[in-house]
Structure 1
Amino acid sequence: MLNKKLLLTLSLSTLLLAGCSTTHYISVTPQADVKGKSLTNERVINVTTSTKLTNSIGFIKTSINERADIFTTNDVKQSVKDSVLAGLRELGFTPEQGVMPAADLQIEITKMSYTTTVETLKTVATLEFELKTTLAAKGQTYKANYGSEKVREYGTMPYQQSVQDDMNSLASQTVNRLLSDPNIIILLK
C-alpha cells in the first residue's frame, strides 16, 4: 500500500515536472478607435500592407514548465489594412474617392511578438507590435514607425482568449497611433 502511494506521488510529480505543451491559435484583428471628424481628402488614398513575418508570434513557457506555441490564424496584413481604412473613414476621409494620382500609404508590419521569461514563481510576458509607414502625398514623402509594448505577469498558462485579447489590444494601440499622427492627417487632407 505504501509503495502504491509512493509510486502514485512520484508519477504525479513527474507529470507535473514534465509540464504540458499546447498551441494557442489567435486572430489578430486591430480595431481603430479614433474620434470622428469631418476631414476630407482631395486624392484617392491607396493603403497597402506588407510583412516579412510568419504566422508564428512566439511561445509561452511558464515557471511550472507549461509551454504553448502561438500562431495567428488570419491574414494580419489584411486585418491591419481593414482597420486603417475603417479609421480613415471614421475621421471623415473617403479613401476610394478623389483625383489621381493617389496618396500612397504603405504599411509594413515589422514586429509582432510574444516572448516570456521565467522569474521564480511567475512568468513575465512581453508583447510587441510595430508598424513602419511611408506616405507619399502632395509631392512629399513622410516616414514613421509606430510601436506598442505590453508586459503581463502570469502564475500559470494564460488562456488562448487572454493571449488573443492582449495581442489585439496592442495592435489596436499601434494602429491608433498611426491614425492620430498629425503629419499623416495633414498629408491626406
Structure 2
Amino acid sequence: MKALIASSLVLVALGLQGCANTTHTINIEPQDTTLEAQYSNQRQIHVVVKPFQETSVGHIKTGIGEKADIEIGNNVQQALSDYMNNKLNMLGFKTNQGQLPATLFTIELNELSYVTKTIALKTEAKLTSQIRATVSQGEQTYTATFKSEKVDQYGTLPDRDVVESEINELLGKTIDRAFKDKKLVQLLGQ
C-alpha cells in the first residue's frame, strides 16, 4: 500500500512539473558562419542598427504540457551593431578608413520569432529571422530584405542554451545572406 501511495505521489509530482511554466532568457549574439570572400572599400562605412522593440521572441508549449516563454536578456541593437562591425572587418572592409562622405549601412531586424505547435506528442518549432539592409552612398540607395526559417521537432522542452544557440545561428545565417547580395556588397565597396 505504501508503495502504491509513493508511486501515486511521484506521478502527481511529475504531472505538476510538466504543467510548470518557465522562462528562457536568451542573449542575442548572432553566430558567424564563415564567408570566404574578401572585400575592400573606398569610403568609410558607418553602420546604423535600428532598435528592436520586442522583448519576447515567442514561447514553447510541448505535447506533454511543458511551457517556456522566450525572452531577450540583452541589448539587441548593441549586439547587432557589434556583430555587423566585426563581420565587415572580417570580410576585409575597413569601416573607419577611406574617403568621406561615408557609406551608410543600415540594418533593421524586422522579425525574430520562435513559434511552436503540437503534433501528437511531438512539438514542432518554427524559427524565423528577417532583416532589412539598406546601403546609401551619395545618390544611390539599395534596400533588400533577407529572411531565414528553420523547422525543428522535439519531444520535451529544449534547454535554454539550445534555444539561444538555434536562434543566434539562424540570425547569423540571415545576416550572411545580405553579404552574398552582389549589389549590396558593390555599394559597400565604392
Task: Confirm whether residue 53 of structure 1 aligns to residue 24 of structure 2.
Answer: no
Residue 10 of structure 1: CA displacement?
Answer: 6.9
Stretches of 4+ moved more than 6 A in 1?
none
Quote the Cα distance in structure 1 between the aligned partners of 2:30 and 2:178.
12
2:131 alignment counterpart: 131
Deviations 1:92-149 (A, max 9, x none): 1101112221111111110011110011010001111110121111421101001111
Q: Is this contact kept in 1: 2:52–2:77, CA < 8 A? A: no
Quote the Cα distance in structure 1 between the aligned partners of 2:115 and 2:51.
19
1:68 alignment counterpart: 68
The verdict on how the C-alpha distance between 1:100 and 1:129 changes in structure 2, with shifts beyond 3 A counting, is same
Quote the Cα distance in structure 2 between the aligned partners of 1:175 and 1:124.
24
SS in 1 for 2:64: coil
Q: Is this contact kept in 2: 1:88–1:179, CA < 8 A? A: no
Q: Is this contact kept in 1: 2:52–2:76, CA < 8 A? A: no
Identity %: 36
Letter in 1 for 2:72: T
Quote the Cα distance in structure 2 between the aligned partners of 1:156 and 1:143.
40
Gaps of 5+ in 2: none
Paired residues in the alignment total 187
Letter in 2 for 1:34: L
Gaps of 5+ in 1: none
RMSD of aligned C-alpha atoms? 2.0
1:84 alignment counterpart: 84
Quote the Cα distance in structure 2 between the aligned partners of 1:146 and 1:53.
19
Question: What aligned pairs does 1:12-161 form with structure 2 within 5 A after superposition?
Answer: 12-13=11-12, 15-16=14-15, 19-32=19-32, 33-37=34-38, 39-161=39-161
Quote the Cα distance in structure 2 between the aligned partners of 1:130 and 1:81.
16
Normalised by the size of structure 1, how large is the TM-score?
0.90
Letter in 1 for 2:36: K
Task: Confirm whether residue 5 of structure 1 aligns to residue 4 of structure 2.
Answer: yes
2:187 alignment counterpart: 187
Letter in 1 for 2:26: I
Letter in 1 for 2:80: V
Quote the Cα distance in structure 2 between the aligned partners of 1:52 and 1:173.
18
> Larger deviation: 135-144 or 47-56?
47-56
> Larger deviation: 16-25 or 150-159?
16-25
1:166 alignment counterpart: 166
The verdict on how the C-alpha distance between 1:20 and 1:142 changes in structure 2, with shifts beyond 3 A counting, is same
Letter in 2 for 1:55: T
SS in 1 for 2:35: coil
Q: Is this contact kept in 2: 1:41–1:188, CA < 8 A? A: yes
Letter in 1 for 2:11: L
